Amino acid sequence: MKSIFISTMLLCALSGFSQNYGNKVDPSKGFIEKLKVAGEKTQSILCSFNQTKYMAVLTKPNISSGIFYYKKEQNICLEYTLPKGNLIVMSQGKFKIVSEEKTTILEMKSNPMMQQMGIMLTACMTGDLKLFGSDSQTEYYESKLYYTVIIMPNDKKLKKYLKQIILKFDKKDMTLETMLMKENDTDYTQYEFKDKKLNSTIDPDKFKI
């Protein structure tokens, strides 16, 4: 009974995220060009982020937060302030995770979820939709304030880890507002990006692995 209740609550949360996509649109009629232009102008992004992880086995979501850094090309850093000291860095085909004072460094290709996260963030920041991948189903929606892109991987290996990615862009500046990575019907991780500063100077050491 408890597991049914938790699953129901998680599905309600998912439906709340998805209910206001707006109308389905042809991406060639505005979205692609706007994202490309914004990506060409953006050399770096500095902002705060909130990370919420939902799992059917948990009684409540796991919430984290911190500072997000991005610098062309595919230099990404999530510096956590909650829990303080945790860190994720993606650069030059590798990623580093610092958790509970333990550091792990691996090749991006060894972790499909982490690799896909890096690819998606880079695609959003650079405006290069080719990075979304040809081996996937992609749908585009437009509302008054946002564009939403829904990506469903077709690759069998990736589908074991990732069922769907939902990206929401602020139409004012075409920056990424939220990214939801849905692992299955009940488990997913959502990132919210706030207080964005474009083209700020970022210390290169933030991306050191």
Q: Of residues 174 and 112, which shows the higher confidence score?
A: 174
Alpha carbons 149 and 27: distance in angstroms, whole number: 9
User: What six digits make up the tokens of 151?
Assistant: 């990506």
Residue 181 predicted with pLDDT over 70 = yes
Taking CB atoms within 8 Å and a gap of at least 24, the contacts of 119-123 are 120/151, 120/165, 120/167, 120/179, 120/181, 121/70, 121/76, 121/176, 121/179, 122/73, 122/74, 122/76
Report residue 94's pLDDT band, with 50, 70 and 90 as the boundaries: very high
Query: For 10-50, how does the pLDDT look when each residue is reduced to its tens digit (9 = 90+)?
Result: 444 444 444 579 999 999 999 999 999 999 999 999 999 99
Cα angle for residues 173, 174, 178 (degrees, 5° grid): 115
Query: For 51-92, how does the pLDDT look when each residue is reduced to its tens digit (9 = 90+)?
Result: 999 999 988 999 999 999 999 878 999 999 999 999 999 998
Domain parsing of the chain, residue ranges? 22-207
**Candidate from 10-14, 153-157, 158-162 with smallest mean pLDDT:** 10-14
Per-residue H/E/C for the chain: CHHHHHHHHHHHHHHHHHCCCCEECCCCCCHHHHHHHHHHHCCEEEEEEEEEEECCCCCCCEEEEEEEEEECCCEEEEEEEECEEEEEEEECCEEEEEECCEEEEEEHHHCHHHHHHHHHHHHHHHCCHHHHCCCEEEEEEECCCEEEEEEEECCHHHHCCCCEEEEEEECCCCCEEEEEEECCCCCEEEEEEEEEEECCCCCHHHHCC
Residue 116 predicted with pLDDT over 90 = no
Q: How confident is the model at residue 148, as a pLDDT?
A: 96
Q: How confident is the model at residue 136, as a pLDDT?
A: 83
Residue in 191, 197, 198 with CA at minimum distance from that of residue 166: 191
Q: Quote the pTM value.
A: 0.84
User: What is the average pLDDT across 134-142?
Assistant: 87
22-207 in CATH: which number?
A: 2.50.20.10
Q: What are phi and psi of 44, to 5 degrees?
A: -155, 155
Q: How confident is the model at residue 115, as a pLDDT?
A: 86
